[in-house]
Structure 1
């Protein structure tokens, strides 16, 4: 069964990836702090959602990252 992702999870992961892009461009303490905050938000949301739908957290996380980083044309 495919994991259905919420818009919130997708937006959180995109925000984390965007924050990481800033770190790569300008690796300042502030940029790292912002990225760590976004990444922590993603982890908390993934953990809660995985428990809610009864799927392993790592499977939800992998599906999310794949969907955000390698979107399929619809």
Structure 2
């Protein structure tokens, strides 16, 4: 059973830095290991944010990135 809930990221109105801060706290409270950070982020961000990340990283798939790469790439285009 997981502790807490993180909503999907709102790419139109959301603050990516604040969202990632919340995701990081979700990782801590749920003891998410480093190897599960990227899959957990992908599961949490929602369809629109995933599509944005997919477009930004093409031809690579988001699952081929490191967690830090995914966060930084998305940060660049959501500010």
- TM-score, normalised with respect to structure 1: 0.41
Higher helix fraction: Structure 1 or Structure 2? 1
Of structures 1 and 2, the larger Rg is shown by: 1
- TM-score, normalised with respect to structure 2: 0.39
